[in-house]
Structure 1
Amino acid sequence: MEIIFIFVAFICGLAIKMAGFPPLIGFLLAGFALNFFGYEANANLETLANLGITLMLFTIGLKLNVRDLYKKEVWIGSILHTVIWITLVNIVLTSLLWLGISVFSQLSLLHSTLLAFALSFSSTVCIIKILEESGEIKTRHGKVSVGILVMQDIFAVLFMVFATGKIPSLWALLLPLLFFAKPIINKILERVGHGELLPLTGFMLAMGGYELFELVGIKGDLGALMVGMLLAQYSKAAELSKSLMSFKDIFLIGFFLNIGFTALPTVELVAVSLLLCVFIPLKFLLFFKIFTWLKLRARTAYLASLVLSNYSEFGLIVIALMVNIGVMDTQWLVILAMALSFSFVFTGIVYRNSHNQYNQFKHILKRFENPVRLPEDDYIQPKNAEILVLGMGRVGKGAYAALNAISGNKVWGMDADPVRIAKLQHQGLQVLVGDGEDIDLWDNMELSKIQLILLALPSIKDICNITEQLQHANYTGKIASIARYEDEIQALLNAGSDKVFNFFTEAGTGFAEESLQLLKPTVVDN
């Protein structure tokens, strides 16, 4: 990647971040700006973009439980949405012929169907980025959204097979044997330790899965996703994902820049792309109606529908394929690239206040909620709870253990990750599944007896959001939270925390106090 690409991406990303929006919007703008000034994408940029997508899908797989795909809200929801969406958008596109816009007048039924199919996908890159930054990828709505994305990826792969006539080889039938390689891969991961070999192993596994699937005639990105899913239940999966996070984010900058290099649009093409963005609210409404019909809670349906309301890079791939084989005109690639960019901006702006939006409109949204709840959506009451620890990672689990030794069964732990909670329950801990940013959870919980809530979460944004939800729920007890950096302390105090502990300072203090206990016998002897 040329230095000018990095510089412009940094300037645009920083400017957009300072304005309060996701930096990825700035990277998109940087691509269009560089294109406008005559720069062209090179092979290195494309390689980085492809590597970023491969690593992203691999890390998605590391966090994905295969059983989540079996749930009807995922597979029925994705199929229903795709079929109904293509039908509705086809009708609308046909009616647009009467507007006299040249690009629409050239559309046949085949063209409009392909365009509707391309627009049916939601952006894996954009959505995973937003869910990761907000710490919601393992929440109920986060897992539903990721499940829908995986199903859409499968639809894309099947389409590519039929459209190109490229049939997987017979060797593809042997791919299930990868399951038997899992113990070997786990042993390798144990041997590499926690240093620089760990991310290198992640690169090897992601690219190895990609190349293996390509060799047997299946889209390589699906291979990276499947290898990640193969390792998802391994204890080191979370650490492996974290070690790849920075690399993935840097490489994905190449992807966003690449979109801007697609082409420079005319005024008419910009207008058409904006017109396509009018369909985005339709995508939201359709997802919301399907999710609530499938008995998801209104909040889960709302947040999942909102984050899925954008267009996808896979749509670009579908249209690019159609352009290459001469089925569609090149201008549609430009239009879709612009519509994709606008939809990213829409999601980035709207989703950042999604929890407050739900709080504001929940009385209306709950009218669409099915009275019958799915088992995993039932609220659990923590019996005799006086202290609640939110976030049962290493810090939260340590805090729970220390408090449990003092207060016994009056201490409960809570985490949004059901897999983690299941493991802790198996160990005998008093814990429950819950999303702290869910106002409905707090409204349905008896908070009058809870005197202290500890927020042991890595994201300051999550802590501030949870504090706000507790205030809305009229919680009157004390709140303690953890800051990783010194400049976060005042922000957390301003948000409503009664006490903020600096993670590294308090860890050092605790280490010193525990170590001093070793000297006490010596002091007594003297």
Structure 2
Amino acid sequence: MEFIWILFAFICGLSAKVISLPPSIGYLIAGFVLHFLGLEADASLTTLANLGITLMLFTIGLKLNIGDLTKSEVWQGALGHSTLWIVLCFAVIKLLAITGLAYFADLTTSSGLLVAFALSFSSTVCVVKLMEDHGEMRTRHGKLAIGILVMQDIVAVIFLVAATGKIPSYWAFGLVLAFVLKPLIYRLINTVGHGELIPLTGFFIALGAYELFELVKIKGDLGALLAGMFLAAHPKASEINKSLLNFKDLFLIGFFLLIGFTALPTLEMLGIALLICLMLPVKFVMFYLLFSALKLKARSAFLTSMVLTNFSEFGLIVSSISVQSGWLSKEWLVILALAVSISFVLTNVVYRFAEHLFMENKPKLIKYERSSRLEEDVFKQPCDAPIVVVGMGRVGMGAYNAIAQQVGKKVWGLDAERAKVDWLTTEHVQAFCGDAESRDFWETIDLDKLKLVMIAVPSVKDTINITHQLRLANYQGQIAAIARFDDEREQLEELGINKVFNFYHEAGVGFAEESLAMMSSQQEAKA
């Protein structure tokens, strides 16, 4: 990447952060400014952007349970919304065409349908970045949003196959050999250890899957996503994901810059893009009503709808192919790029107030809730267990085992991953599945029975979210949490958490105490 790109991306990203906006908005602005100054995107920036999207899809797959896609609220929500949106959006486009409005009047029936189809997607890049920034990737609404996006991505890939005429070759059937080779691939990952080979392994598998799918004439991004899902059950999946996070975020800067290089807009094009963005509230309402009909609770339906209310980078890919094929004018590519950029900004700004907006409108929103609940939203609280450990990873399990040795069944574990909870249950661990970052969850249990909540999640953002929801649910007991760094510890203590343990410091203290105890025992034995 040329230094001028880095300079503008840094300045605009930092400026956005200073005014409490996500840096990604700054990167979008940087792209438009650089284009206005006469610079052009070269092949290296395009390569960088493509790498970012490929790694993002791969890391999504690493955290995705294939069973999540089979849930009715996911596939029915995605396909149902896309169908309804295309019909409604096309009707609006034809109505605007009748009025003779610029650019709309030139759209034919087929090109109007293409525009509606391009606007039906929600942005994977925008949503994933937003969920990561808010620490909500593991929440009920976060996982639902990711499932919807994956279904939309699959639809987009099918369109690209049909539009480009790239029919998968017969060799594509050979991809099923991956399941035969799965033990060998898992053994290979176990062999790489925990050093610098971990991120390299992630790159190798993600890009290897991309090239393999391209070789058999299937969209490579789908290969990266499926490769991640293929490895999601491996014990090192989380470690690979963490090792790729910084690379992914860096490469995605190229994607945001590239949007600005699409074309220089006119004021008329900007006006049309703003007009299109007026349909975003309609997109939100359609999502919310559809999720409510699928028996989601009001808060989950509201937050999922809110984060999905934007237009997608896949819409730009669809429109770009349509322009190349002569189905759309190049002006529409600019208009859609502007609409996507504006929707990114609106989503990032509005979502900061999502919880406040929900509470303010809760009496109206809950009217659309169904009386019956999805099984995943029903929680049975363990009786007479006043201590809960939130997050059953290595630290959480260590805390659970230590407490269980002293108080027995008085402690229980809580985790957002169903597969992990099922495995823990087979190991006779009193573990339950639930979204600790949801106020709905805490409001469904008797908080008076809880005396101590131990938050053992790795992300400080997740810890803050959980604490915030506990306070809003009027929890009066004690809260303990872990932190990796002193500034995180201070931040959590200022939040009102009763006891914050520095992860590295406490590990060192425990190591020293156990070692001294071992030495004392040895000396006593000799005596």
| TM-score between the two structures when normalised by the length of structure 2 | 0.96
Alpha-carbon deviation of 1:523?
A: 5.8
Alpha-carbon deviation of 1:98?
A: 4.9
In structure 1, distance between residues paired with 2:3 and 2:418: 44
- Report the equivalent of 2:511: 511
- Report the equivalent of 1:493: 493
In structure 1, distance between residues paired with 2:514 and 2:8: 50
Larger displacement relative to structure 2 (162-171 or 325-334): 162-171
In structure 1, distance between residues paired with 2:130 and 2:463: 17
CA offsets 1:247-302 (integer angstroms, 9 cap, x no match)? 11111111111111111211111111111111111111111111111112222211
Asked if 2 retains the 8 angstrom alpha-carbon contact of 1:319 and 1:332, the reply is yes
Please give the secondary structure, in 2, of the residue aligned with 1:199.
Answer: helix
Larger displacement relative to structure 2 (377-386 or 484-493): 484-493
In structure 2, distance between residues paired with 1:365 and 1:322: 39
Is 1:212 paired with 2:212?
Answer: yes
- Report the equivalent of 2:423: 423
- Report the equivalent of 1:172: 172
Asked if 1 retains the 8 angstrom alpha-carbon contact of 2:140 and 2:438, the reply is no
Moved over 6 A (4+): none
- Report the equivalent of 1:358: 358
- Report the equivalent of 1:235: 235
Which one-letter code corresponds to 1:319 in the other structure? S
Alpha-carbon deviation of 1:99?
A: 4.8
- Report the equivalent of 1:345: 345
Asked if 2 retains the 8 angstrom alpha-carbon contact of 1:359 and 1:439, the reply is no
Alpha-carbon deviation of 1:506?
A: 1.8
CA offsets 1:165-212 (integer angstroms, 9 cap, x no match)? 222222222222222121111111011111111211111111111111
Please give the secondary structure, in 1, of the residue aligned with 2:218.
Answer: coil
Larger displacement relative to structure 2 (309-318 or 397-406): 397-406
Larger displacement relative to structure 2 (58-67 or 346-355): 346-355
Which one-letter code corresponds to 2:15 in the other structure? A
Is 1:47 paired with 2:56?
Answer: no
CA offsets 1:139-160 (integer angstroms, 9 cap, x no match)? 3222221221111111112112
In structure 2, distance between residues paired with 1:260 and 1:220: 24
- Report the equivalent of 2:300: 300
Asked if 1 retains the 8 angstrom alpha-carbon contact of 2:145 and 2:308, the reply is yes
- Report the equivalent of 1:401: 401
Alpha-carbon deviation of 1:353?
A: 3.4
Asked if 1 retains the 8 angstrom alpha-carbon contact of 2:16 and 2:22, the reply is yes
Which one-letter code corresponds to 2:430 in the other structure? Q
Please give the secondary structure, in 2, of the residue aligned with 1:103.
Answer: coil
Alpha-carbon deviation of 1:396?
A: 1.5
Asked if 1 retains the 8 angstrom alpha-carbon contact of 2:387 and 2:410, the reply is yes
Asked if 2 retains the 8 angstrom alpha-carbon contact of 1:134 and 1:459, the reply is no
Which one-letter code corresponds to 1:279 in the other structure? M
Please give the secondary structure, in 1, of the residue aligned with 2:382.
Answer: coil
- Report the equivalent of 1:162: 162
Asked if 2 retains the 8 angstrom alpha-carbon contact of 1:390 and 1:414, the reply is yes
In structure 2, distance between residues paired with 1:135 and 1:471: 17
Asked if 2 retains the 8 angstrom alpha-carbon contact of 1:355 and 1:437, the reply is no
- Report the equivalent of 1:473: 473
Question: 1:238-257 maps to which residues of 2 (within 5 A)?
Answer: 238-257=238-257
Question: 1:266-277 maps to which residues of 2 (within 5 A)?
Answer: 266-277=266-277
Which one-letter code corresponds to 1:8 in the other structure? F
Which one-letter code corresponds to 1:106 in the other structure? D
Q: Which runs of 5+ in 1 are unaligned?
A: none
In structure 1, distance between residues paired with 2:165 and 2:199: 36
- Report the equivalent of 2:446: 446
Which one-letter code corresponds to 2:303 in the other structure? L
Asked if 2 retains the 8 angstrom alpha-carbon contact of 1:61 and 1:228, the reply is yes
- Report the equivalent of 1:278: 278
- Report the equivalent of 2:145: 145
- Report the equivalent of 2:462: 462
Which one-letter code corresponds to 2:241 in the other structure? S
Is 1:35 paired with 2:35?
Answer: yes
Q: Which runs of 5+ in 2 are unaligned?
A: none
In structure 2, distance between residues paired with 1:215 and 1:455: 46
Please give the secondary structure, in 1, of the residue aligned with 2:449.
Answer: coil
Which one-letter code corresponds to 1:31 in the other structure? G
Question: 1:17-36 maps to which residues of 2 (within 5 A)?
Answer: 17-36=17-36
Larger displacement relative to structure 2 (305-314 or 15-24): 15-24
In structure 2, distance between residues paired with 1:458 and 1:20: 24
Asked if 1 retains the 8 angstrom alpha-carbon contact of 2:283 and 2:309, the reply is yes
Which one-letter code corresponds to 2:5 in the other structure? F
Call closer, same or farther: CA 1:18–1:506 in 2, change over 3 Å. Answer: farther
- Report the equivalent of 1:328: 328
In structure 2, distance between residues paired with 1:317 and 1:163: 11
In structure 1, distance between residues paired with 2:186 and 2:65: 17
- Report the equivalent of 1:15: 15
CA offsets 1:223-259 (integer angstroms, 9 cap, x no match)? 1111111111111111111111111111111111111
In structure 2, distance between residues paired with 1:199 and 1:382: 40
- Report the equivalent of 2:262: 262
Asked if 2 retains the 8 angstrom alpha-carbon contact of 1:16 and 1:23, the reply is yes
| TM-score between the two structures when normalised by the length of structure 1 | 0.96
Asked if 1 retains the 8 angstrom alpha-carbon contact of 2:130 and 2:348, the reply is yes
Alpha-carbon deviation of 1:63?
A: 1.2
- How many correspondences in the alignment? 526
Is 1:124 paired with 2:148?
Answer: no
- Report the equivalent of 1:314: 314
Asked if 1 retains the 8 angstrom alpha-carbon contact of 2:115 and 2:319, the reply is yes
In structure 2, distance between residues paired with 1:239 and 1:501: 22
Which one-letter code corresponds to 2:494 in the other structure? N
Please give the secondary structure, in 2, of the residue aligned with 1:353.
Answer: helix
State the identity %: 54
CA offsets 1:441-466 (integer angstroms, 9 cap, x no match)? 11121111211111222233322222
Asked if 2 retains the 8 angstrom alpha-carbon contact of 1:62 and 1:237, the reply is yes
Alpha-carbon deviation of 1:18?
A: 2.3
Asked if 1 retains the 8 angstrom alpha-carbon contact of 2:379 and 2:444, the reply is yes
Which one-letter code corresponds to 2:244 in the other structure? L
Asked if 2 retains the 8 angstrom alpha-carbon contact of 1:68 and 1:74, the reply is yes
In structure 2, distance between residues paired with 1:14 and 1:160: 36
Please give the secondary structure, in 1, of the residue aligned with 2:480.
Answer: strand
Which one-letter code corresponds to 2:166 in the other structure? K
In structure 2, distance between residues paired with 1:169 and 1:135: 41
Alpha-carbon deviation of 1:366?
A: 1.5
In structure 1, distance between residues paired with 2:359 and 2:381: 21
Alpha-carbon deviation of 1:522?
A: 5.6
